[in-house]
C-alpha cells in the first residue's frame, strides 16, 4: 500500500477552466451579451431616470430625499452590482432602527420593454469565474441602479424597528421610494478584519450589536441555518483560481439577518393585502424532524433533550466529520422550497405561506439587480403599504413568476455545481491512484458522500463499511475533466507487515 499523500492546495489556472466553462455555458444555454433592442433601450436611461415609469410606480411622486442617511454597502470584495445598503441607529425604548435601502430597479425598467422581456427570459444572474451572465445589462446592474459609493441613487427604503430582544416590530414597518447616497463600499474580509482588530466602521460596530440579537431571536423562532463551509472558487483570471472552503464569518451571518428581516416585513405587508409573491418552504414532516434526534444519537453528537434543533445548529461550526454528517442529514428538512402567488380570493393556509427555514412568512425583495422576482414582490409590498392596488405592469407578470423563478434557480444551481465539479476535476487531474484523508458525511445504499479538506472537494466514494460521521482513507479513482466527474473508492487497510 503506498504512503498516504495529502496535498494542501487547490489552485486552478484560468486557461485550464476555459474550455470546460465554455462547454458548461453552452450546455446550459447561458446567453452571451444582450440583444440590440436591450442595448438600445438602456442607452436612453439616466441616473435620475424613470420618467417613462414615473406614473406607474407606487409612491414615485413622493420620493423622499434620504441622502443624509449614513448608508454603507457590505458585499464580497470587488462587487459592482450592489443591491443593498444599510444604516443602523438607536430607536426609542431600547429599540433599534434599521434603514435598509434596496436598488430601485423598477424605476429604470420600462414595463413591457426590451429590458423587462429579456429579464423574464434570464430570471437571475449566473456567476462564472471571471465574469457573470447578468440578469440586467451591466450599464444598469453595475452602474445606474447599483448603490455605488458617493453616488445619488434611486432606492426603495425600508425602515424597520427591532426591539430589545431582536424581534421585528411588524406594525412599525415603513417603506417608501427615496433618493439615497451610500457613504462607503465595505467588503466582508476587510470589515471583519477591522472588527476583529477593534477598529470597525461605525456601521459595522452597530451591526455587531444588532446582529447577535437578530440571530438569537431567529434561534428562538426555530429558524434553521446550516453552518456548513461553502465550497467556491476565489481569485481572478490573472492570478488563477483557488478552490476553497469558505467558512461563514460573523458579518456574513449578521448581514444576512438584515435581509431576512426585510423579507419578513415585506411578507407581512403582502399577506395583509392578499397580493404579492412569497418565498416558501413547507414544514418538514414530523417524522423527519424526530429523525434528527435519532441521527444525532447514531453519530454520537451530544444533543440535550432541553435544546431545540435551532439551538443545536447555532452552536455547531461544521468543521468535524460528525457535524458535517449531521448537517447533511438536516438537509432533508429544507426540501420543497417554492413560491406562493397571493390572491385575495383564496387566502393561503398558515403552512402554505410559511418558510420553515426562516420560521416565518418571507419574501424575496432585497436583491432586484440579481433576482427577477424581487422587483415585482417589492412593488406588491409598496402597494400594500400605501393601500393601493398592485400596478398593472407588476400584476400582469406575477402569475407566471413562480414557474420562471423556479426554472431560473434550477439553471443557476446547475451552473454553480458544474463550475465546482469542473474545478474539482481540474485540480485532481493526474492524481488518480493517490490517497486522501476524508470525512464521510452521508452513506447511501451503494456509495457515500465524502468531503476532502485539501484540496477542498466533495464527491462520491465507493466501498463497503463506510460510516457517516467518521474519517477514512479514500483512493481517487476518477478525475475526468471533460465529464466534470470525480470519484473515490475506500482504500483497503494497511497491511500489518507481520
Handedness of CA 322, 324, 328, 333 (dihedral sign): positive
Is 226 within 8 Å of 330 (Cβ atoms)?
A: yes
Residue 33 has pLDDT above 50, yes or no: yes
Residue 379 has pLDDT above 90, yes or no: yes
pLDDT of residue 173: 97
Residue 419 has pLDDT above 90, yes or no: yes
DSSP code, position 69: S
Mean of all residue pLDDT scores within the chain:
91
Residue 234 has pLDDT above 70, yes or no: yes
The pLDDT tens digits for 117-158 are 999 999 999 998 888 899 999 999 999 999 999 999 999 999
Locate 137 and state its grid cell. Answer: 445589462
* Residues with Cβ within 8 Å of residue 285, at least 6 apart in sequence: none
Cα separations in angstroms, 478 against 170, 421, 426, 460 = 54, 12, 11, 10
Locate 384 and state its grid cell. Answer: 400594500
Across 125-134, 219-228, 355-364, the highest mean pLDDT is recorded for 355-364
pLDDT of residue 52: 61
pLDDT of residue 336: 94
Residue 446 has pLDDT above 60, yes or no: yes
CA proximity to 44, closest of 110, 119, 94:
110
Residue 96 has pLDDT above 90, yes or no: yes
pLDDT of residue 495: 62
The pLDDT tens digits for 159-211 are 999 999 999 998 999 999 999 999 999 999 999 999 999 999 999 999 999 99
pLDDT of residue 24: 94
Confidence of residue 46 (pLDDT cuts 50, 70, 90): low
* Residues with Cβ within 8 Å of residue 414, at least 6 apart in sequence: 28
CA proximity to 257, closest of 69, 71, 84:
84
Three-state DSSP class for 378? helix
Look at 76 and 102; give whichever has higher pLDDT. 102
Region 65-83: mean pLDDT is: 96
Residue 247 has pLDDT above 60, yes or no: yes
Confidence of residue 248 (pLDDT cuts 50, 70, 90): confident
Q: How far apart are CA 341 and CA 322, in angstroms?
A: 40
Region 304-318: mean pLDDT is: 92
Residue 10 has pLDDT above 70, yes or no: no
Locate 33 and state its grid cell. Answer: 451579451
Where helices occur in 123-249 by DSSP H, the ranges are: 138-139, 188-196, 202-221
Region 360-378: mean pLDDT is: 98
Confidence of residue 458 (pLDDT cuts 50, 70, 90): very high
pLDDT of residue 240: 75
pLDDT of residue 1: 26
pLDDT of residue 346: 93
The CA angle 408-413-418, to the nearest 5 degrees, is 125
Confidence of residue 42 (pLDDT cuts 50, 70, 90): confident
Region 52-77: mean pLDDT is: 91
The CA angle 94-99-101, to the nearest 5 degrees, is 170
Q: How far apart are CA 106 and CA 267, in angstroms?
A: 19
CB burial of 389-425 (b: ≥16 within 10 Å; e: otherwise) equals ebbebbbebbeebbebbeebbebbeebbebbbbbbbb
Look at 6 and 77; give whichever has higher pLDDT. 77
What are the chain's domains? 1-30+410-498 (2.40.50.140), 31-282+336-390 (no CATH)
Residue 363 has pLDDT above 60, yes or no: yes
Confidence of residue 230 (pLDDT cuts 50, 70, 90): confident
Element (H, E) at 101: strand 96-103
The CA angle 131-137-140, to the nearest 5 degrees, is 115
Is 101 within 8 Å of 180 (Cβ atoms)?
A: yes
**Backbone angle region of 90, left / alpha / beta, with phi > 0 → left and psi within -120 to 50 → alpha:** beta
Amino acid at each position: 500500500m503506498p504512503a498516504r499523500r495529502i496535498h494542501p492546495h487547490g489552485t486552478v489556472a484560468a486557461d485550464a477552466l476555459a474550455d470546460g466553462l465554455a462547454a458548461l455555458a453552452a450546455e446550459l444555454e447561458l446567453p452571451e451579451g444582450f440583444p440590440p433592442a436591450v442595448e438600445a433601450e438602456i442607452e436612453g436611461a439616466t441616473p435620475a431616470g424613470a420618467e417613462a415609469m414615473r406614473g406607474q410606480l407606487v409612491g414615485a411622486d413622493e420620493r423622499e430625499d434620504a441622502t443624509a442617511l449614513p448608508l454603507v454597502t457590505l458585499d464580497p470584495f470587488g462587487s459592482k452590482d450592489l443591491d443593498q445598503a444599510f444604516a443602523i441607529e438607536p430607536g426609542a425604548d431600547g429599540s433599534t432602527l434599521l434603514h435598509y435601502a434596496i436598488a430601485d430597479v423598477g424605476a429604470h425598467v420600462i414595463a413591457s420593454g426590451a429590458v423587462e422581456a429579456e429579464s423574464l427570459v434570464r430570471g437571475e444572474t449566473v456567476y462564472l469565474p471571471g465574469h457573470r451572465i447578468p440578469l440586467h445589462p451591466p450599464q444598469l446592474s453595475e452602474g445606474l441602479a447599483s448603490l455605488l459609493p458617493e453616488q445619488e441613487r434611486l432606492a426603495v427604503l425600508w425602515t424597520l424597528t427591532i426591539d430589545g430582544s431582536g424581534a421585528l416590530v411588524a406594525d412599525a414597518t415603513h417603506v417608501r421610494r427615496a433618493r439615497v447616497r451610500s457613504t462607503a463600499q465595505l467588503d466582508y474580509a476587510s470589515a471583519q478584519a477591522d472588527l476583529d482588530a477593534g477598529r470597525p466602521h461605525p456601521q459595522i460596530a452597530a451591526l455587531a450589536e444588532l446582529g447577535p440579537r437578530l440571530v438569537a431571536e431567529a434561534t428562538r423562532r426555530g429558524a434553521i441555518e446550516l453552518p456548513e463551509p461553502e465550497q467556491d472558487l476565489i481569485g481572478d483570471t490573472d492570478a488563477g483560481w483557488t478552490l476553497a472552503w469558505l467558512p461563514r464569518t460573523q458579518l456574513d451571518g449578521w448581514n444576512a439577518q438584515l435581509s431576512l428581516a426585510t423579507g419578513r416585513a415585506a411578507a407581512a405587508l403582502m399577506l395583509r393585502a392578499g397580493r404579492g409573491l412569497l418565498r416558501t418552504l413547507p414544514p418538514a414532516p414530523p417524522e423527519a424532524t424526530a429523525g434528527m434526534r435519532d441521527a444525532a444519537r447514531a453519530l454520537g453528537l451530544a444533543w440535550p433533550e432541553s435544546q431545540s434543533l435551532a439551538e443545536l445548529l447555532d452552536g455547531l461550526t461544521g468543521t468535524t466529520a460528525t457535524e458535517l454528517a449531521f448537517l447533511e442529514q438536516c438537509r432533508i428538512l429544507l426540501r420543497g422550497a417554492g413560491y406562493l402567488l397571493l390572491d385575495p380570493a383564496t387566502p393561503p393556509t398558515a403552512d402554505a405561506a410559511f418558510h420553515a427555514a426562516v420560521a416565518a412568512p418571507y419574501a424575496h425583495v432585497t436583491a432586484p439587480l440579481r433576482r427577477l422576482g424581487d422587483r415585482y414582490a417589492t412593488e406588491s409590498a409598496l402597494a400594500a403599504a400605501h393601500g393601493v392596488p398592485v400596478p398593472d405592469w407588476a400584476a400582469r407578470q406575477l402569475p407566471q413568476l413562480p414557474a420562471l423563478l423556479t426554472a431560473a434557480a434550477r439553471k443557476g444551481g446547475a451552473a454553480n455545481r458544474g463550475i465546482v465539479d469542473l474545478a474539482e476535476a481540474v485540480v485532481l487531474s493526474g492524481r488518480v491512484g493517490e490517497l486522501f484523508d476524508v470525512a464521510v458525511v452521508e452513506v447511501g445504499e451503494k456509495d457515500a458522500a465524502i468531503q476532502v479538506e485539501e484540496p477542498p472537494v466533495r464527491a462520491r466514494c465507493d466501498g463497503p463499511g463506510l460510516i457517516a460521521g467518521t474519517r477514512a482513507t479514500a483512493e481517487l479513482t476518477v478525475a475526468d475533466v471533460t465529464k466534470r466527474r470525480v470519484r473515490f473508492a475506500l482504500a483497503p487497510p494497511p497491511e500489518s507487515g507481520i
